[in-house]
Amino acid sequence: MTFNELKLAIAIQKAQLGGRDLVTDRERKEAACLIYAEWVMHFDETVFPFSPDDIDRMRLSVRKNTNTKTKVEVAIAHGVRCFFSNRGKGPCCSEAECGHLVPRLRGGGMTVENCQIECRAHNNQRREMLIEEYLQSNLTTEQEASR
């Protein structure tokens, strides 16, 4: 999921559209208007790069995919940017992931309290390191790209 798609998922969650599938074209358009209003209100962006089909796919994912639901809840609680952005660990990529404060290999769970939003590049590089270990390491995503 890209960071833009994550923002779309947040706008869908905030629009509180209910749990049923939209059947008519009118319902889809009304839902799209509500989602766009949430997008503008929460992200202060007027460019909305999603089609009604994109919205339908993401609505389904927000409703039925546990990982998507958790990622949305984490982003709402902790923010939509990569935690390591502007922290000296190199540039971020466009893919959003849930990074664990206490990695799963060390017993950490997939909960809002134990997760933060990270880009895939930083998440993959950090692997099972704690945040402090990663921040103190000399690893950067620039080094990873040069390999």
Our CA angle for 96, 120, 104, nearest 5°, is 95
Residue 11 domain boundaries: 3-65
User: Which residue type occupies 2?
Assistant: T
**Same domain, yes or no, for 48 and 17?**
yes
Cβ atoms < 10 Å from Cβ of 16: 8
Encode pLDDT of 66-85 as tens digits: 999 999 999 999 999 999 99
Encode pLDDT of 101-122 as tens digits: 998 888 888 899 999 999 999 9
* Residue 8 near residue 32, CB atoms below 8 Å: no
Number of domains in the chain: 2
**Same domain, yes or no, for 47 and 93?**
no
- Name the residue among 79, 82, 74 with its Cα closest to residue 115: 74
Model confidence at 22, pLDDT cuts 50, 70, 90, reads low
Q: Is the pTM of this model over 0.85?
A: yes
Tokens of 37: 């209003």
Instruction: Please check the confidence at residue 143 and state whether its pLDDT lies above 90.
Output: no
**Same domain, yes or no, for 86 and 139?**
yes
Model confidence at 97, pLDDT cuts 50, 70, 90, reads very high
Which of 65, 90, 110 is the last residue in one of the domains? 65
Residue 71 is assigned to a structural domain of this protein: no
**Same domain, yes or no, for 91 and 139?**
yes
**Same domain, yes or no, for 48 and 90?**
no
Position 144 scores a pLDDT of: 56
Residue 76 is assigned to a structural domain of this protein: no
**Same domain, yes or no, for 13 and 57?**
yes
